[in-house]
Amino acid sequence: MSPYRLIKNIILILGLIPFVSGCVETNQANIAKTTFPAETMTSGVTLTPSIEVQPTSIDETQRPTNILPPISVEEAKSKIEMFIADNGCDLPCIWGITPGKTTLEDLRNLFGRYPEYEVPYDFYISSHINNSKGGILDTGLWEDNFLLNTSLEYSGKNNILDLLVLYTEFQYRTGEGITETGKPVYGDPVFSRAYQYYLLPSILSKYGNPSKVLIYPFPDNERIDPQEFSLVLVYDQGFMIEYIFPKEISGENYKGCHSKSAFITVSSWDPKNQPSFEEIVSMSTVGISQYTWQLFKNLEDTTALRAEKFAELLGNPENNGCIYTPMEYWVK
Please indicate whether residue 186 or residue 49 has the higher confidence score (pLDDT): 186
Q: What backbone phi and psi angles, to 5 degrees, belong to 25? A: -130, 150
Is the residue at 317 inside a domain? yes
Is the residue at 186 inside a domain? yes
Please indicate whether residue 307 or residue 114 has the higher confidence score (pLDDT): 114
Q: Does residue 36 register a pLDDT over 80?
A: no
Q: What's the confidence (pLDDT) of residue 283?
A: 85
Is the residue at 179 inside a domain? yes
pTM (2 decimals)? Answer: 0.79
CA distance 147 to 124: 10
Per-residue pLDDT band for 99 (boundaries 50, 70, 90) equals very high
In this structure, of 61-65, 72-76, 184-188, the range with the lowest mean pLDDT score is 61-65
Q: Does residue 43 register a pLDDT over 70?
A: no
Domain hosting 244: range is: 3-37+71-330
User: Helix or strand or coil: residue 157?
Assistant: strand
- The mean pLDDT value for 73-82 works out to 91
Q: What's the confidence (pLDDT) of residue 221?
A: 61
Percentage of the chain modeled with pLDDT above 70: 76
User: Helix or strand or coil: residue 314?
Assistant: helix
Residue 43 neighbours by CB distance under 10 Å: 18
Is the residue at 303 inside a domain? yes
Is the residue at 48 inside a domain? no
Q: How many domains does the chain have?
A: 1
Is the residue at 241 inside a domain? yes
